Structure 1
Amino acid sequence: MTRKQTARPASALHLGVDAGNSKTAALVSTASGEVVGAGRSGCGDIYGAPAPEVAVSEVLAAVRAALAQAGADLRAVKSAAFRLAGVDWPEDQGYWDTALTRHCPGVLTRRSILNDGYAAIRCGDTGGVGISVTGGTSGAIAARGPGGELWDMGWWGQHGMGATGLANEAFRTVFLAELGLRPPTALTEALLTHYGVATVTALNHWLTRRQDRARGPERNSCARVVTAVAAAGDPAAVEIVRAQGRHLAEYAGVAARRTGLTRAGGPVSVVLSGSVLMAEGSPVAEALLAELPARVPGAVPRRGSLPPVAGALLDALAEGGVALADPVVADAVLEKVTGSLPPREFLAT
């Protein structure tokens, strides 16, 4: 993305950050919602990076790139919303708070730090109430209730989700089929072809050997293969994607109950995001949508038209005093944000 850099007045900008394992994205906007800077870097998850400080460096790199594009520096940021994978326990939030204070002394003082699952909620309801269900590299689910109650899945998730879950279940199925403990499956030939190996033994060896084993992105790269095989009707692949959709719906139900969304009655915004759920014709999304009404009464599914980092930016705007609960204000801000986002490929995983 290229944009002419222009000087911005101090205390005029708002910062939204969405950090995951695949990438970290940052957006900077004026109070009107006009995006004037965007930055992108690597893994911002303190659990997923080689070391926590590496994740901090990546997040700050994205922030500084966005501000540089805006022709501003950290002193110009009025409010910031950090939505970070790996903020799963109070000490994780504390780690980030300490790190940001150390690296950015005297600036970014008006900031919130939450799990990245919260990023997309305002992409469905600008008032910030509802559920976000993300299926990306992994799964993330978060909710904000009508009284401001918060709940996110974090380490409560006991099922593999997202691309990692699809890949791991596919490997398990293929290996068990090779041992004669499961029926033959079209996943076997599909995975061998995808990875360019001749046998299941060679695939298992590459995934598990002590040296030069497959890295996370390489392992997860077969997720689209799994969904394609499921779409073609292979029973084993169909069960994998249906199970993931069912589990995502189950955890969304927990989120609704824990935040009072089911007690409130009425419609409940449920925003879907992430590469697995947003892929065209995603069978995981279809399975999730089939299960959702029974798990979240009143659910109104929304396939996010805005990227999650835009939701983080909306959080920053709301926390900075922009009245997004006012429909007139919210509509004007959304129009500005949508019309000034960086190209889609800039934010693609």
Structure 2
Amino acid sequence: MTRAQTARPASALYLGVDAGNSKTAALVSTASGEVVGAGRSGCGDIYGAATPEAAVSEALVAVRAALAQAGADIRAVGSAAFRLAGVDWPEDQSYWDMALTRHYPAALTSRSILNDGYAAIRCGDPRGIGISVTGGTSGAIAARGPDGELWDMGWWGQYPMGATGLANEAFRAIFLSELGLRPPTALTEALLAHFGKPTVAALNHWLTRRQGRAPGRERNSCARVVAAVAAAGDPAAVEIVRAQGHHLAQYAGVAARRTGLAQAGGPVSVVLSGSVLMAEGSPVADALFAELPAHVPGAVLHRGSLPPVAGALLDALAEGGVTLADPVVADAVLEKVTGSLPPREFLAT
């Protein structure tokens, strides 16, 4: 984390930001947890945007929109939590810290900056203890232990996860099948239809050619198709989703061990988020559920209770002096946050 956190008066506002590749969302609330402003913008990942500066700009667009809806100035924010995809190394955190100081030299003096994987943890346990498993554009896993120890997967992830992983593995399966190196798969017909390509060769060309190749978001748009083909029982697609569920569970186990959650015994809050895991009937989520007990004994699953940006807002409240460790306070704040969130469509990917 960066910057010292100090208790703020009840009149202060609190800011939570969750920045990913598909979108950036920001919420502003009062100390009670009532959301009074929301903003949304594009890619806030300094690794995924056209430039790091572009990622910062998108995050600030969401912040300004949330503050405008709240009818407030940035100086009214007493505590802010930025949960940002691409904050994987200390220099990434420093980059954002300098950028925020440059844009807001006299504001946001009480703020924290962490990987976006941490955003959802308080959506399961308001104390902020537990594991977050995100399957969105890519995979993100983060944990906070009972003594405050932090760990996130970052660039330790060595397997394709999230929508990007599903898409890339599906392309691999149909290209190898086309060459006779793997059995035929229903993924071939399904992906050709999805992308409107006449042949596998045409699809390969579109994905890899030097000019005019498929943009990343369009490539990844087939993730839902891969999941549907797996749900229908195609062996190649089933293997892809099972492997992803297995790898997510493995890394959740690493997170539990690295933060002391595994050693503490008892129940471990595990929050799921992201479009791949939150889709209705998600076979990746089913695969994760099947694997998780072997890697995180005592796992208690939380799925879809609150969006990750609400968890970032809860971080801002807790870091700003709201005692979410008190169950009575936590229940009251959660009720306020839940009842004042923007419509589900506003945060949908």
Q: TM-score normalised by the shorter chain: which range applies?
A: over 0.9
Partner residue in 1 for 2:61: 61
Unaligned runs of 5+ in 1: 1-8
Partner residue in 2 for 1:100: 100
1:121-140 C-alpha deviation (Å, 9 max, x unpaired)? 00000000000000000000
Q: CA contact under 8 A between 1:124 and 1:304: conserved in structure 2?
A: no
Kindly state the Cα deviation for residue 12 of structure 1 after the two structures are TM-superposed: 1.3
Q: Which amino acid aligns with 2:340?
A: S
Structure 2 CA distance, aligned partners of 1:177 and 1:11?
A: 62
Q: 1:196 and 2:200 equivalent?
A: no
Q: CA contact under 8 A between 2:10 and 2:31: conserved in structure 1?
A: no
Q: Which amino acid aligns with 1:320?
A: G
Structure 1 CA distance, aligned partners of 2:204 and 2:10?
A: 56
Structure 2 CA distance, aligned partners of 1:55 and 1:170?
A: 29
Kindly state the Cα deviation for residue 88 of structure 1 after the two structures are TM-superposed: 0.0
SS at match of 1:158: coil
Structure 1 CA distance, aligned partners of 2:276 and 2:48?
A: 19
Partner residue in 1 for 2:111: 111
Kindly state the Cα deviation for residue 305 of structure 1 after the two structures are TM-superposed: 1.2
Kindly state the Cα deviation for residue 246 of structure 1 after the two structures are TM-superposed: 0.2
Partner residue in 1 for 2:32: 32
Kindly state the Cα deviation for residue 304 of structure 1 after the two structures are TM-superposed: 2.7
Structure 2 CA distance, aligned partners of 1:44 and 1:280?
A: 26
Relative to the length of structure 2, the TM-score reads 0.97
Partner residue in 1 for 2:122: 122
Partner residue in 2 for 1:143: 143
Kindly state the Cα deviation for residue 11 of structure 1 after the two structures are TM-superposed: 5.7
Partner residue in 2 for 1:258: 258
SS at match of 2:38: strand
Residues 88-237 of structure 1 correspond to what in structure 2 (within 5 A)?
88-237=88-237
Identity percentage of aligned residues = 88
Which segments of structure 1 move beyond 2 Å, counting only runs of 4 or more? none
Q: CA contact under 8 A between 1:10 and 1:77: conserved in structure 2?
A: no
Q: Which amino acid aligns with 2:306?
A: L
Structure 2 CA distance, aligned partners of 1:204 and 1:148?
A: 47
Structure 2 CA distance, aligned partners of 1:321 and 1:329?
A: 12
Q: Which amino acid aligns with 1:161?
A: M
1:4-58 C-alpha deviation (Å, 9 max, x unpaired)? xxxxx99610000000000000000000000000000010000000000000000
Q: 1:81 and 2:104 equivalent?
A: no
Kindly state the Cα deviation for residue 310 of structure 1 after the two structures are TM-superposed: 0.1
Q: Which amino acid aligns with 2:346?
A: F
- Measured on the aligned residues, the alpha-carbon RMSD in Å equals 0.9
Partner residue in 2 for 1:41: 41
Kindly state the Cα deviation for residue 201 of structure 1 after the two structures are TM-superposed: 0.1
Q: CA contact under 8 A between 1:83 and 1:113: conserved in structure 2?
A: yes
Structure 1 CA distance, aligned partners of 2:122 and 2:213?
A: 40
Relative to the length of structure 1, the TM-score reads 0.97
Q: Which amino acid aligns with 1:28?
A: V
Structure 2 CA distance, aligned partners of 1:167 and 1:197?
A: 16
Q: Which amino acid aligns with 2:46?
A: I
Structure 2 CA distance, aligned partners of 1:10 and 1:186?
A: 58
Q: CA contact under 8 A between 1:15 and 1:79: conserved in structure 2?
A: yes
Structure 2 CA distance, aligned partners of 1:235 and 1:340?
A: 44
Unaligned runs of 5+ in 2: 1-8
Q: Which amino acid aligns with 2:261?
A: L
SS at match of 1:21: coil
Structure 1 CA distance, aligned partners of 2:301 and 2:11?
A: 36
Q: CA contact under 8 A between 1:33 and 1:334: conserved in structure 2?
A: yes
